[in-house]
Amino acid sequence: MVAAVAAIRDDGLRLPPGRSWGILERAAQGEAALGVSVVLLRFGFVPLVLLALWIYCILDVIATEDSLVRNLPKTMWLLIVIFLPDIGSLAWLLLGRPMYAGWRPGDTSRRPTKRVIGPEDRADFPSGPLRPPPRPPRPVESRENELAAWEEQLRRREEELKRREGGDDPGDSPTP
């Protein structure tokens, strides 16, 4: 195989700019590597993935029970997947496949749905109160003292206000 690649290169066959013989020469070292490399070089990776998806979807449509298929009858889905390979495969997976079905073709067992867990369901969530406990009530005597001081302060302010309004305020008198 190495000789075949060397012969092709020596015959004057030119590659487009940016291409080299290195991949083919390395692939020629082993037959298995050559097969995979040539397939990937010739067809590319994406078409092979799409082919695998198409085959999977055909098998999945055939193996799925008629009563579980969504939106269209099973035969219509099979025709769509066969005649529109890429779009039909994606449409089958998104719109036709049974909800929560397993990933094996035709699997009717339900996948467990993911349960949303709130912070209060976690094991490390604090179980005690989140706020500090309220202060104990003050004794009645201290409240009465505070009220008496507040009333005294209000009484003084009222007297001062009356003096200002009556003109008895020493700040209002003219200076000699």
Whole-angstrom distance, CA of residue 90 vs CA of residue 60: 12
DSSP H or E run through 24:
helix 22-27
pLDDT of residue 126: 73
Per-residue pLDDT of the chain (176 residues), as tens digits, is 455 445 455 555 555 555 555 555 554 555 555 566 666 666 778 888 899 999 999 999 998 888 888 899 999 999 999 999 899 999 999 998 887 777 777 776 766 667 777 777 777 777 766 677 778 877 777 778 888 999 999 999 999 999 998 875 555 555 44
DSSP H or E run through 148:
helix 140-166
pLDDT of residue 41: 66
pLDDT of residue 145: 86
pLDDT of residue 157: 94
- On the 0-12 / 13-18 / 19+ scale of CB atoms within 10 A, 121 is exposed
Domain ranges of the chain: 2-43, 45-121
In the structure encoding, which two tokens stand for residue 142, read together? 């201290």
Radius of gyration for the alpha carbons in the chain, expressed in angstroms and rounded: 43
Would you say 59 and 51 are in contact if contact means Cβ atoms under 8 Å apart? Answer: no
pLDDT of residue 176: 44
Work out the angle at residue 100's Cα, subtended by the Cα atoms of residues 99 and 104, and round it to the nearest 5 degrees: 110
